[in-house]
Structure 1
Amino acid sequence: MRKLTAMSFVSLDGVMQGPGGPDEDRTQGFEHGGWAVPHFDQDTLDVITALTRRGGALLLGRRTYETFAATWPLAEADDPVGAKLNAMPKYVASRTLDTVTWTNSTLLTGDVQEAVRELKRADGDEIQVHGSPGLLQTLLAHDLVDEFVVFTFPVLIGSGTRLFGDGTAPGRLRLTDVTGFGGGVVAGTYVRDGKLEYGAMGPETGNW
């Protein structure tokens, strides 16, 4: 079974919409595009590069696919991220696209969650989801994400699409790695760790 990893850039209040540029995603009038860019440093980029290069396939929603397909084919030949993304198999979940033209891209048809389950059952290295907030909500609702790599940026946005929206399947996560960077970004890696548990605390419970 292949692991499915979601790699996300989020604000401290959980927003993942439009981190990379003003016009990346203006859905519902979002006006804060590009909020992540001032906080990248070389160490952050090195970690993102290493994570991307370990992937065996890319799974994208329509908007992120269109953004990537318009930019990464323009990367220099010696760009390690561009070379990896351009070469690796890419699967696109969309109800509106008829074709996908980026090299090695395949349009998923039919039931998205079942198509993703089929991808996970196949042989190969991990499947990575970059961005793709709409697709991620479907994956979260059906508990299809095995690992989260969350880059949390020291900004508050107040509105926009959040990583964990309504409908996320409840469950526990276990922190397996955490790294802080000079630009104030903190990268945490989390894996699924069973069902959500409950308790109570306070002086009357003995758990204070």
Structure 2
Amino acid sequence: MRLTATMFQTLDGVVQGPGGPDEDRSGGFDRGGWLAPYADEGMNEVVTAVFGRAAAFLLGRRTYDIFAAYWPTAPREVDGAPDVVAQRLADLPKHVVSTTLTDPAWAGTEVVGREGADVHSAVERLKEAPPSSVGDELQVHGSPTLVGWLVAQGLLDELRVLTFPVVLGHGERLFPTGSASAAFTLGDVRRTGSGIVVTTYRPAGRPVYRSVDG
């Protein structure tokens, strides 16, 4: 399976707490909920299409806890139509990277990294699984620390970024200072009516450094 990551970020790269004021207050973050004013039909179409390609999920511990607090009891239909996000998160396998989570209550969860297990090898095994009948992607959502680690390890196949037209000046960033250097090639680009820019990148090894004049 392809390993993909989908991230929501601000213009200054903040990925923390997009969904609501209390979603993630770690580090004293008090600017959560910045996504809501820009959520539109175009964004919903992108997110629905992404989740429609999922065969399984790989999540960091903090994002897993945020998801597990909401999605297990979320309605599987909205206004009589299937909610693809709720259905996929409920029905598909969820793999969470953690050394402290021992007894996950969310059905369908497997812990990766328990008891000193080699997380790199575990992720490689997950990627080697054949596509399922419902999708061909092992998907990461949120989990910025995990995404940075996957990029550094050369395990990520595709990065999707939804960039919102807002600057916060504070909060956890997708690639903070000290992140591993990496180059990418640009794939698809689209925009939504509210100004969200949706870009797809594929890893392209390490950056090349040279003068612009040759």
Following superposition, the deviation at residue 39 of structure 1 comes to 0.7
Does the CA contact (< 8 Å) of 1:142 and 1:169 recur in 2? no
Q: Does 1:82 align with 2:89?
A: no
Does the CA contact (< 8 Å) of 1:151 and 1:186 recur in 2? yes
Aligned residue number for residue 119 of structure 1: 126
Following superposition, the deviation at residue 3 of structure 1 comes to 1.4
Q: Map 1:97-112; keep pairs closer than 5 Å.
A: 97-108=101-112, 109=114, 110-112=117-119
CA 1:139 to 1:166, structure 2 compared with 1: closer, same or farther past 3 Å? farther
TM-score of the aligned structures, taking structure 1 as reference length? 0.90
Q: Structure 2 CA distance, aligned partners of 1:85 and 1:58?
A: 8
Deviation readout 1:141-162 (Å, 9 max, x if unpaired): 2222110000000111112111
Deviation readout 1:106-150 (Å, 9 max, x if unpaired): 111223222212211222221110001222232232222110000
Does the CA contact (< 8 Å) of 1:175 and 1:188 recur in 2? yes
Aligned residue number for residue 16 of structure 1: 15
Unaligned runs of 5+ in 2: 77-81
Does the CA contact (< 8 Å) of 2:152 and 2:182 recur in 1? no
The amino acid of 1:4's aligned partner reads L
Does the CA contact (< 8 Å) of 1:56 and 1:88 recur in 2? yes
Q: Map 1:191-202; keep pairs closer than 5 Å.
A: 191-201=202-212
Alignment counterpart, residue 168 of structure 1, candidates 155, 160, 179: 179
Q: Map 1:1-208; keep pairs closer than 5 Å.
A: 2-77=1-76, 78-108=82-112, 109=114, 110-124=117-131, 125-201=136-212, 205=213
Following superposition, the deviation at residue 40 of structure 1 comes to 0.6
The amino acid of 2:118's aligned partner reads D
TM-score of the aligned structures, taking structure 2 as reference length? 0.88
Q: Percent identity?
A: 48
Aligned residue number for residue 79 of structure 2: none
> Aligned-pair RMSD on alpha carbons?
1.6
Q: Structure 1 CA distance, aligned partners of 2:141 and 2:58?
A: 7
The amino acid of 2:127's aligned partner reads K
| SS of aligned partner of 2:70 | helix
Following superposition, the deviation at residue 101 of structure 1 comes to 1.9
Bigger mean CA offset, 36-45 vs 192-201: 192-201
| SS of aligned partner of 2:156 | coil
Deviation readout 1:77-115 (Å, 9 max, x if unpaired): 332211111111110111221111212111112232222
The amino acid of 1:105's aligned partner reads T
Unaligned runs of 5+ in 1: none
The amino acid of 1:164's aligned partner reads F
Does the CA contact (< 8 Å) of 1:143 and 1:169 recur in 2? no
Bigger mean CA offset, 114-123 vs 79-88: 114-123
CA 1:171 to 1:137, structure 2 compared with 1: closer, same or farther past 3 Å? closer
Deviation readout 1:41-94 (Å, 9 max, x if unpaired): 011111111111101110111111111112112222332211111111110111
Following superposition, the deviation at residue 167 of structure 1 comes to 4.5
Does the CA contact (< 8 Å) of 1:141 and 1:167 recur in 2? no
| SS of aligned partner of 1:85 | helix
Figure out how many residues of one structure are paired with residues of the other and give that number. Answer: 202
| SS of aligned partner of 1:56 | strand
Q: Structure 2 CA distance, aligned partners of 1:112 and 1:162?
A: 23
Q: Structure 2 CA distance, aligned partners of 1:63 and 1:171?
A: 24
Q: Structure 2 CA distance, aligned partners of 1:171 and 1:137?
A: 10
